[in-house]
């Protein structure tokens, strides 16, 4: 007889494993199917995020930042460190150790919560039946009262720059270089391209980023993206070419020759390696039988409503395979929402309050609406900006590039958005995520006591500036 579960989750990335754990916590008999294996055939949980995404990229960003600081940032403090060198295999070993500790941790958490972890691949059939094919085994049927699809995303490959796994690589390949390329090309100035470009630039590569769009970081508040462009090109050594579309590549004698259109002019570049980071697409191939009852939208994502319900009752989909930003924390919270809704709760996710972060240096982080969106919507607002150059804590840390910007509704005073470029932006923006979830006004933030000296004072001062009475910077004259 087919195995039966209350919930079967397909995929154990942040969307899937979190959904499975929460379902089990709520007393549902839960299985989680994952096909990822290590090179010894051992099941690996955690998906893109833990294996080849958030975690390994941040490990390399941290190592490379320390190296860059040791070579460029110590003299100002009066420290001379002698000759500093970088051991790339050691850096990679540390990264692998972090990944294996965390992925092993997820296996432990699934077990501790009573989730049945199934190693193999899953496919949704009609009537919420799941076909489970164990690694190297024959397909079996599983019956599920509910199914959660969480198969994630994979890198997009473009015809002019096909991956060869050696010289032309995707983000996964870019986390595995065994030496620092002398000259590195990056196609796409999105979040992943900038983060991975930064890693290798800090370690000494000459990095050229080729981006098709004429504007830099279009999804970011324009004041912040302009500042980022200035800082990345001047201070961080990234050569960012906008309005430049890659049209062809060839690998000759171990070098990648790239042709791109700069406006109308055809140009050439030659690199030791090329990272192609032009976005990711949902993984749905082979996942859905024709009669599964689940539909895709026009962009190939699984079609869901605000509660991640697909067109088939009892089948849900979360994370990168559904609309919305491809972010691990968005996937996780969708997983929690779905688990709780299956167990009868009315949990909702506030999609307007999902923070975004780019882990460059300085970091960029934001939540809510940006200035160009408010202008386009005709929303009356005022902006308050506090530059880190006026922050005692940032000065003490010799990390004064950037700003905190808060946008408030001119009539209700509600905080509409917060946009930060600067030290610890990821952690600072979370304060405003919490504030916005509680419907805070700029005055609420103004009346809160912030520890001194701290980078958080920048958030306080930006709120004060939006109200026109910042203390530590001059205020704009009232009209």
Q: 333 or 371: whose CB is closer to ligand FAD?
A: 333
Binding segment for ligand AMP (CB under 6 A), chosen from 126-134, 272-280, 337-345, 382-390, is 272-280
The CA dihedral of 441, 444, 450, 456, to the nearest 10 degrees, is 0
Q: Dig out the tokens for 200 from the structure.
A: 């290798």
Residue whose token pair is 């900038």: 194
Binding of residue 36 to ligand FAD (CB under 6 A): yes
Q: How far apart are CA 181 and CA 272, in angstroms?
A: 6
With respect to ligand FAD, which residue has the nearer C-beta, 53 or 384? 53
Min separation Cβ 261 and ligand AMP, Å: 9
Interface with ligand AMP in residues 193-212 (CB under 6 A): 210-212
* Catalytic residue check, 452: yes
Adjacency order of strands within the sheet including 415-422: 356-358, 363-368, 415-422, 403-409, 381-387
Q: Which of 150, 176, 186, 183 is nearest to 336 (CA)?
A: 150
Contacts with ligand AMP by CB under 6 A: the residue count is 16
Q: x/- string (CB under 6 A) for ligand FAD, residues 291-320?
A: ----------------------------xx
In this structure, what token pair is assigned to residue 178? Answer: 């065994």
The residue annotated as part of the active site, out of 68, 329, 452, 469, is 452
**Nearest-CB residue for ligand AMP:** 190
What Rg value do the Cα atoms of the chain yield, rounded?
24
Q: Which does 320 bind (CB under 5 to 8 A by kind): ligand FAD, ligand AMP, none?
A: ligand FAD
- State residue 140 phi and psi, 5-degree precision: -125, 160
Interaction with ligand AMP in 150-189: which residues (CB under 6 A)?
158, 187-189
Cβ neighbours of residue 188 closer than 8 Å, sequence gap 6 or more: 209, 210, 211, 212, 276, 277, 278, 279
Q: Looking up tokens 């030791």, which residue turns up?
A: 272
Q: Is residue 287 involved in binding ligand FAD (CB under 6 A)? A: yes
314 binds, among ligand AMP, ligand FAD, none (CB under 5 to 8 A by kind): none
CB of 192 to ligand AMP, least distance (A): 5
Least distance between ligand AMP and beta carbon 217 (Å): 8
Residue 258 in the binding site for ligand AMP (CB under 6 A):
no
Question: How many residues can be counted in the chain?
Answer: 479
How many angstroms separate the CA atoms of 44 and 17, rounded?
Answer: 12
| Binds ligand AMP (CB under 6 A): choice among 20, 174, 191, 207 | 191
- Token pair, residue 217, equals 């970081």
Minimal distance, residue 280 CB to ligand AMP, in Å: 7
Q: What are the C-alpha distances in Å from 303 to residues 15, 287, 294, 315?
A: 16, 14, 7, 11
Spatial separation of the C-alpha atoms in residues 62 and 56, rounded to whole Å: 10
334 binds, among ligand AMP, ligand FAD, none (CB under 5 to 8 A by kind): none
Interface with ligand AMP includes 274 (CB under 6 A)?
A: no
446 binds ligand AMP (CB under 6 A): no
Q: DSSP H helical segments within 119-183, as ranges? A: 171-174
Instruction: List, by residue number, the catalytic residues.
Output: 452
The residues of the shown chain that bind ligand FAD, judged by CB under 6 A, are: 10-16, 33-36, 47-49, 53-54, 57, 121-122, 150-153, 171, 192, 283, 287, 319-320, 326-329, 331, 359
The residues of the shown chain that bind ligand AMP, judged by CB under 6 A, are: 158, 187-192, 210-213, 245-246, 277-279
């Amino acid at each position: 007889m087919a195995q039966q579960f209350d919930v079967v989750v397909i995929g154990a990335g942040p969307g899937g494993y979190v959904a499975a754990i929460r379902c089990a916590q709520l007393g549902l008999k839960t299985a989680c199917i994952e096909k990822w294996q290590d090179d010894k055939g051992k099941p690996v949980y955690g998906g893109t995020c833990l294996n080849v995404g958030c975690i390994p990229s941040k490990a390399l960003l941290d190592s490379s930042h320390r190296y860059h600081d040791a070579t460029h940032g110590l003299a100002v403090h009066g420290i001379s460190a002698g000759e500093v060198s970088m051991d790339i295999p050691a850096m990679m070993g540390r990264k692998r150790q972090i990944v294996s500790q965390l992925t092993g941790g997820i296996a432990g958490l699934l077990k501790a919560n009573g989730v049945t972890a199934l190693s193999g691949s899953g496919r949704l059939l009609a009537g919420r039946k799941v076909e489970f094919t164990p690694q190297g085994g024959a397909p079996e049927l599983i019956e599920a009262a509910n199914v959660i699809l969480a198969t994630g995303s994979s890198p997009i490959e473009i015809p002019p720059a096909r991956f060869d796994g050696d010289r032309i690589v995707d983000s996964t390949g870019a986390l595995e270089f065994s030496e620092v390329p002398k000259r590195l090309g990056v196609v796409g100035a999105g979040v992943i391209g900038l983060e991975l470009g930064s890693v290798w630039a800090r370690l000494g590569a000459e990095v050229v980023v080729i981006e098709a769009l004429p504007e830099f970081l279009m999804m970011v508040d324009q004041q912040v993206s302009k500042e980022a462009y200035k800082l990345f090109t001047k201070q961080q050594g990234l050569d960012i070419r906008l309005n430049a579309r890659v049209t062809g590549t060839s690998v000759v004698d171990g070098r990648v020759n790239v042709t791109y259109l700069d406006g109308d002019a055809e140009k050439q570049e030659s690199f030791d390696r090329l990272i192609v980071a032009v976005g990711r697409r949902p993984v749905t191939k082979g996942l859905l039988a024709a009669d599964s009852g689940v539909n895709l939208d026009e962009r190939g994502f699984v079609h869901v409503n605000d509660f991640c319900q697909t067109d088939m009752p009892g089948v849900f989909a979360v994370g990168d395979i559904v609309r919305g930003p491809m972010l691990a924390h968005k996937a996780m919270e969708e997983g929690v929402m779905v688990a709780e809704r299956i167990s009868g709760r009315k949990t909702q996710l506030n999609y307007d309050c999902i923070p975004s972060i780019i882990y460059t240096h300085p970091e960029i982080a934001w939540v809510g609406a940006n200035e160009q969106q408010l202008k386009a919507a005709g929303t009356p607002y005022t902006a308050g900006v506090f530059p880190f150059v006026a922050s005692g804590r940032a000065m003490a840390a010799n990390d004064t590039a950037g700003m905190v910007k808060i946008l408030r509704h001119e009539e209700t005073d509600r905080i509409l958005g917060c946009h930060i470029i600067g030290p610890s932006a990821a952690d600072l923006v979370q304060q405003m995520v919490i504030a916005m979830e509680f419907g805070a006004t700029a005055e609420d933030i103004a009346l809160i006591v912030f520890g001194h000296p701290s980078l958080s004072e920048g958030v306080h001062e930006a709120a004060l500036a939006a109200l026109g009475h910042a203390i530590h910077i001059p205020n704009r004259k009232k009209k």
